[in-house]
A and B are shown apart, each in its own frame.
Chain A
Amino acid sequence: MFSSRHILLFVVLAVLLCAAFVAQLFLGSVSVPAAEVFTILLGKGKDEILSRIILENRLPGAVGALIAGSALALSGLMMQILFRNPVAGPYVLGMSAGANLGVALLLMGSSFFSFSGILSKFFYSEWGIALAAAIGSSAVFLLVLLVAKRITQSVSLLIVGLMLGSAISAVVELLQTFAGKDELKQFVLWTFASFRHLTPQQVWVMAICCGFGFALSIKMMKPLQALQGGENFAQTVGIDTRRAKQTIIIATGILAGTVTAFCGPVAFIGLAVPHLCRMIFKTANTVTLTFACVLLGAVVCGFCNVAASMPGSEYALPVNVITSILGAPFVVYIIIKQPKTV
């Protein structure tokens, strides 16, 4: 089934995945000697501060980054195939705009309403932001699902998603206009995405939700294979495209929505990694591509996380700076080099 070349590539990816995971643990703004990291990971760390840095700061972030990378790459692949559009990504249906809106209302909406008492304490916490983002993207995603039932043409659905995203962004801009400096900065930083603030509990929730999303995506590998030929074609070979579309949208919503809720809207990974997979594996077999995206997405995201922490310097960059600097030129390169994609 898999050619020997593919098997080799998967082995390389698996090795790189381990490397990405390990790099995130060993490298960071604070220089911790490798030997020390080893002892800490084995549970025998002596220095409480360094232990906490490795185990509580870097480790959850490392796992989170890998999960996020896989989830985004996978949902990007599905969106690109479903819409037969090379520049589709996980956010093409407006879900990241929805998450932005949720967080914007929470952080900057105090001029319009403020939560009182206990509710406020919960919402202005780490879980509150994730919840606000999740509610926002779920609302958009349900709207899109509803529309998808009525609109059969995928192109129309894509346009609706884009327009919805624009409309929501306008509301976010409105909130930004009236926001105070601190709130604005906080919101803007959220949109730049990061992994290293994740707590172990959050990573567990991410893993469970994304696990569910992965399971749905695995079921969709076969329909996606047929969908590459178009919806009519897929129907003639026996794929229930209406059902498949719904499941794909749900899977994307869960994967992209979960990542955005906890990490912020991570840019470019969902868009670029599927193309990278195609270029490396040179296959259209959606089974191969699915697993390739899961691995390569995690690898790319992991290394971006390392780069963002700017090892050796006291400063750190938000993740989107790295992914955008690398991602944008790459996407341009793809578009130029391969005019006939998907």
Chain B
Amino acid sequence: MGYFISILSNKRFYCWLLLGFSVLAACDNQSALKQRHCHPTKTYYPKYAKGFWIEYFNGFKVIHLRDAYDTTKAIEDYVIYPKGKKKPADFPNAVAVFTPVQKNICLSTTHVGLLEILGITDSISGVVDGKRVYNKNVLRKLASGEVKVVGNEAGMNNELIFSMQPSVVLAYSFNEGNSSIPKLKSLGMSVMLINDYNEREPLARAEWLKVLASLYNLDDKADSILNDAEAAYNSLKTLAATAVKKPTVFCNMPWNDVWYMPSGDSYFSNFITDAGGDFLWRNNTSQRVLNLDYEVVYAKAAKADFLLNPNEANTLKDISAQGKRFENFEVFKQKKIYNNNLQQTATGGNDFWESGVAQPHLVLKDLISIFHPELIPNHQPIYYKQLQ
């Protein structure tokens, strides 16, 4: 007892204690990065996407997720390595995803679209809300029972998901349904966030192909797809820029008095601008989605040239059924209303949100042919249809 007291009253003891603490503090993740044992053979920084970057090591890969709106904020890391091997020591906090990835569950249909481009929709074993799937392969398997519906708007069926033992669950948000995701994680499942929807540039969303491709060792295939897409997209963008007059464009339809308009910094705003259009709220980036009063939209867009994405409308009658006042818009009188539901199943599956995400150049082509038909004559629209 006396021995301990003499230690505690010894000044030197506290110096050693302080030193010891600072050494420990220095050993957090930040400095761990510098003191790593392994160095990446390759690092992939996406050209457009802000929400992820990938490090390739010998024998494993690490996907780093960060906030697309604030890239200083890291979200989560995933380390992809073969099952049975030891987890790389440098990434103790990363979520492990074991290869080969045999079965996965998609909690969003955009994941289906990305996987389709890579040609690996067969690896999908579960989806949420089967009615909203467009992909023919997955639909067929849903009908036969090979692919299961693991949840709906009300929430996810954790037991079912667990019993399916997928290699990875692809999520689009940690806050969906009743936040089953922490529960799934606690059951030992690998849940990977795919934050493509937080990207505002069309090519950025497509780049999330790389994330999915890295799970299946299809990184090269993804590279080539993306390079083609980028080249096509940029050449179309240059083409659109040659147009002299930019038509004015606005989007969506109101609920009651509130008109939700995409922000000036958004997926659609960028598409419109790249296609040589003038999005009327291009300069308003105050909110992620603008809550505008009907009056304001009418005042600004009554004489606009085009209206895109009027929610679920299929015909002009659908538009006027929601209110006679919409017939006062110039776009209604000139029939210049276009919706991205040309490829849609009867139950609401929309290919724009599946293959469209992975092929932004095709969407751009549609839009350019709408805004500047003379630049791309004889174009068969793929995703957009004109409302009649």
Residues of A within 8 A of B (CB): 28-30, 48-50, 52-53, 56-58, 121-122, 124-126, 177-182, 184-186, 189-190, 192, 194, 196-197, 199, 264, 309-310, 314-316, 318
Contacts and interface: CB of A to CB of B under 8 A. Distances in A.
Contact of B256 (A179, A194, A314): A194
A181 B108 CA distance: 13
11 contacts: A28-B293, A122-B321, A124-B318, A126-B323, A178-B154, A184-B153, A185-B255, A199-B323, A309-B295, A314-B296, A318-B258
A184 B153 CA distance: 10
Contacts of A185: 255
B35 interface: no
Contacts of A309: 293, 295
A99 to B, nearest CB: 15
Contact of B293 (A56, A190, A310): A310
Contacts of A194: 256-258
Given A177-B154, A182-B311, A196 B299 contact: no
B37 interface: no
What 4 pairs between A and B have smallest CB-CB spacing? A316-B293, A29-B293, A125-B321, A177-B154
Contacts of B255: 185-186, 189-190
B328 interface: yes
Contacts of A184: 153
B303 A316 contact: no
B167 to A, nearest CB: 28
Interface string B142-177: 000000000011110000000000000000000000
A316 B293 CA distance: 5
B317 A121 contact: yes
Interface size class of chain B, counting residues whose CB lies under 8 Å from the partner chain: 20 to 34
Interface string B256-277: 1110000000000000000000
A178 B153 contact: yes
B298 A57 contact: yes
Contacts of A182: 311-312
B302 interface: yes
A125 B299 CA distance: 23
A180 B152 CA distance: 9
Given A126-B321, A177-B155, A197-B256, 6 more contacts: A49-B298, A126-B323, A178-B152, A180-B153, A264-B256, A314-B293
B153 A181 contact: yes
A199 B292 CA distance: 19
B322 interface: yes
Most buried by B among A186, A189, A190, A318: A189
B388 interface: no
A314 B49 CA distance: 31
B152 A314 contact: no
B152 A316 contact: no
Given A180-B153, A194-B257, A197-B257, A30 B321 contact: no
B316 to A, nearest CB: 12
Nearest to B287: A315
A108 to B, nearest CB: 9
A52 B326 CA distance: 11
Contact of A179 (B153, B284, B293, B322): B153
A121 B31 CA distance: 63
A315 B291 contact: yes
B47 interface: no
Contact of B294 (A57, A126, A180, A192): A57
B12 interface: no
